[in-house]
Amino acid sequence: MLIKESFGPSDFERLVDEENATASRLIFTDQSILDIEQEKVFTKAWLYVGHDTEIPNVGDYVTRQMALDPVILVRAEDGKPQVLLNSCSHRGTQVCGTDVGNTKGFVCPYHGWVFGLDGGLKATADDMDLYEGKVDFKTLDLTKAAQVGSYAGLIFATWNEEADSLEDYLGDARWYLDLFHNRTPEGMEVLGPPQRWVVNTNWKLGAMNFAADGPHAVQVHGPITAATFNVPPSIFRDALVDSPAVSMGNGHNGIFTQIPEVLKDQVPPYLGTYPDLIPVLESHLDPKQTELNRHLLAGVTTMFPNFSSVQGAITFDNESLPVNFLGIRVWQPISATETEIWNWFLVEKEAPQEWKESAAKAGVRTFTPCGTFDQDDAEAWVAINKGISGTMSRKGDINFQMALAYRDKTIPDFPGPGRAYPSNYGEVTEFDVLLEWQKYMKT
Amino acid sequence: MTSTVSETEYRELSNFLFAEADLLSDHNYVEWEKLLAEDLHYKIPIPQFLEQKGARQIGTIGTDNYNDNIDSMRIRLNLLKNPATTTSERVRSLLNHVVGNVLVSKVSDNEYECKSTITVHRTRFNQKHPTTISGRRTDLIRRTDIGFQLVKRHVKLTQAILMTSNVSYFF
């Protein structure tokens, strides 16, 4: 029996069993493990903070979370995004208390200390001379993220000075992120501010589900998929079983579900992307990316640790053609059994306004707390946390052993990089998130 | 055109809102659907916290919890009418829709704007305390040959971060 205080690198060796494809239930319920994660994962990895189009102009800012830490994502005077800890260097007060805005700087509401867009301290309360020169004000800037980077409009930050560049961190996953975020020359834009809700579950369950869990899709989403496409759920089971899952490296994973043969006429190519943009998309993406993307029914990925993208094509009237929705989200840990989901929808900048509205509706009706897909997912994750929190029920494992059947079966001639497996049902990519997590926790 | 309404009209419209809320609390989506107009627009945007100075919007469309027409609403209702098809309501929640502060004005020969407050308490299996979400509603309600129908509903929620795993019910 593991004693909480004893969790150390060697315990994490045992808590995820790579050979057996299982993980201890404790890693989803134990608060002391979450506390260790905060240091070992969330101050070390690159974390998603916002989209380039959320802060188009100098002085534009949004307030965000990097796990438990409140931060400000702001476009500084040099035009580059900055990520500042939203905590005054004087008493620690949050210096910014709004969701979004434009400003010349941040003024602490407590003593009026003033900080520039780069986090530099500009003024203390009243007169800086009162300190009689005894204080080095250069040490009293707002804390900045050690590195800020962006790829295809997605802005990430890390507290880790020694982290690889974002480019290297994402690595081969960029090839797959392109299918979601880099489809046209102008790229994607967010449709609106983030939607937020709190689910009583561990953040890893959401991150893993989007990395992605094929087998749940028929059980949980079969009826709504059948209702919107007018075919029996078994059609989707077959599509999931026969579609690829990819481990992209560095803990980034996803599935790429292909359109079932019977739906080829119903689902437009490239997941219902705005039709006029298809020629642009085909010339912008690499032919091999196009090959994977052309007949997709759904694509779901998680970039380690907690940033996910989901896209699909859906219609809600059985008449009009399905429209592409692209959702992105962050699984913010609050406690071992509470996760705050931050959720946005995106669309191609080149699309006309009317299409953008359709894309927003397709998103809102599917992957949100009121969405016909999401509302059922969260139900299952909460039930896991309820199911594994007792004295007996937290002993034992969570099981990913479909991986035993699939982990040695890679697709040799797959168009994209990384390791591709032949089934969304394989559980290999979902489990890979925990293998990456284990690497961080063992250090 | 906005005009005040008679005592009778106020009573009629209030009764409509109370009866409608009762159907929702009963999960009686068959009867509730009959109250919806074919040109329904049901919208619940997410609230934002903005400072007056420097206020701006993210994106050109905005973000909603609900943004439905009659077609998408019927898909939702078809799921909820058959609980086996939706995990979130396979076991019915306990729901209590409380309507208050009803204000009625007439906006055309056969249409009324009704403002009201709505508080929904919801409890699930094994949940100790109900999840409570409230909002301020502005409805457009039409008098028809078969009774009143809901044409538009716009709800301003008083909660920006929803403390619940899902909202598979209505306001």
B83, B106 Cβ separation under 8 angstroms: no
- 3-state SS, B124-170, equals CCCCCCCEEEEEEEEEEEEEECCEEEEEEEEEEECCCEECCCCCCCC
Question: Range with the lowest mean pLDDT among A307-316, A397-406, B79-88, B144-153?
Answer: B79-88
Pick the CATH number of B7-50+66-157 from 1.25.50.10, 3.40.50.720, 3.30.420.590, 3.10.450.50: 3.10.450.50
A316, A365 Cβ separation under 8 angstroms: yes
Does residue A330 register a pLDDT over 60? yes
The nearest alpha carbon in chain A to B71 belongs to A317
Handedness of CA A46, A48, A52, A58 (dihedral sign): negative
Contact A223 B160 (CB under 8 A): no
A210, A48 Cβ separation under 8 angstroms: no
Other CB atoms within 10 Å distance of the CB of residue A412: 5
Mean pLDDT of chain A: 94
Contact B48 A99 (CB under 8 A): yes
The nearest alpha carbon in chain A to B70 belongs to A317
Other CB atoms within 10 Å distance of the CB of residue A171: 16
Could you tell me whether strands A47-51 and A154-158 are parallel, antiparallel, or unpaired per DSSP bridges? antiparallel
Structural domains of chain A in order of their starting residue, each with its CATH number: 47-162 (2.102.10.10), 174-442 (3.90.380.10)
Contact A193 B63 (CB under 8 A): yes
Specify the 3-state DSSP secondary structure of A201: coil
- Residue to test with chain B: of A94, A98, A104, most B Cβ within 10 A: A98
Q: Which stretches within A23-155 are classed as H helix?
A: 31-40
- Residue to test with chain B: of A75, A216, A365, most B Cβ within 10 A: A365
* Non-local CB neighbours of B52 within 8 Å, separated by 6+ positions: none
| Closest alpha carbon to A270 in A211, A183, A186 | A183
CA distances from B95 to A376, B76, B77, B137, B157 (A): 18, 17, 16, 18, 17
- DSSP code string of B107-127: EETTEEEEEEEEEEEEE-TT-
**Along the 171 residues of chain B, how does pLDDT read in single tens digits?**
567 899 999 999 999 999 999 999 999 999 999 999 999 999 999 999 998 888 999 999 999 999 999 999 999 999 899 877 777 888 899 999 999 999 999 999 999 999 999 999 999 988 899 999 999 999 999 999 999 999 999 999 999 999 999 999 999
A23, A399 Cβ separation under 8 angstroms: no
* B170–chain A nearest CA distance, Å: 9
Which residues of chain B does A58 touch, with a Cβ-Cβ cutoff of 8 Å? none
Residues of chain A with pLDDT > 90: what percent?
Answer: 84
Contact B165 A201 (CB under 8 A): yes
With an 8 Å Cβ cutoff, the interface of chain B facing chain A consists of 44, 46, 48-51, 53-68, 71-72, 75-76, 78-79, 82, 84-88, 126, 160-168
* Non-local CB neighbours of A129 within 8 Å, separated by 6+ positions: none
- For the stretch A251-261, pLDDT in tens is 999 999 999 88
* A132–chain B nearest CA distance, Å: 35
DSSP B85: G
Contact B161 A196 (CB under 8 A): yes
> What pLDDT does A1 receive?
46
Could you tell me whether strands A105-107 and A114-116 are parallel, antiparallel, or unpaired per DSSP bridges? antiparallel
A53, A63 Cβ separation under 8 angstroms: no
B48, B86, B161 ranked by CB distance to A197: nearest:
B161
* Non-local CB neighbours of A164 within 8 Å, separated by 6+ positions: none
Where b means 16+ CB within 10 Å and e means fewer, A255-292 reads bbbbbbeebeebbbbbbbbbeebbebbbebbeeebbeb
Which residues of chain B does A103 touch, with a Cβ-Cβ cutoff of 8 Å? 53-54
- For the stretch A75-87, pLDDT in tens is 999 999 999 999 9
Tokens 């805005």 belong to which residue? A101
* B122–chain A nearest CA distance, Å: 14
B59, B66, B78 ranked by CB distance to A193: nearest:
B59
> What pLDDT does B2 receive?
67
Does residue A46 register a pLDDT over 90? yes
Question: Range with the lowest mean pLDDT among A254-258, A266-270, A421-425, B35-39?
Answer: A266-270
Contact A365 B68 (CB under 8 A): yes
The rounded distance, in Å, linking the Cα atoms of A21 and A426 is 11
Tokens of A242: 């026969």
Does residue A2 register a pLDDT over 60? no
Tokens of A235: 């059609």
Tokens of A119: 């986090």
Which residues of chain A does B56 touch, with a Cβ-Cβ cutoff of 8 Å? 60, 100-102
The rounded distance, in Å, linking the Cα atoms of B160 and B156 is 10
Which residues of chain B does A340 touch, with a Cβ-Cβ cutoff of 8 Å? 161
The nearest alpha carbon in chain B to A354 belongs to B61
The average pLDDT across A277-295 equals 95
* ipTM, two decimals: 0.95
A76 vs A229, more confident: A76
B54, B60, B87 ranked by CB distance to A103: nearest:
B54
How many Cβ pairs closer than 8 A exist between chain A and B? Answer: 158
* A385–chain B nearest CA distance, Å: 12
Tokens of A176: 């797959």
Contact A224 B86 (CB under 8 A): yes
The average pLDDT across A271-285 equals 95
The rounded distance, in Å, linking the Cα atoms of A195 and A73 is 17
| Phi then psi dihedrals of residue A108, to 5 deg | -65, 130
Spell out the domain ranges in chain B: 7-50+66-157
The nearest alpha carbon in chain A to B162 belongs to A197
The rounded distance, in Å, linking the Cα atoms of A374 and A157 is 27
- 3-state SS, B22-66, equals HHHHCCCHHHHHCCEEEEEEEEEECCCCECCCCCCCCCCCCCEEE
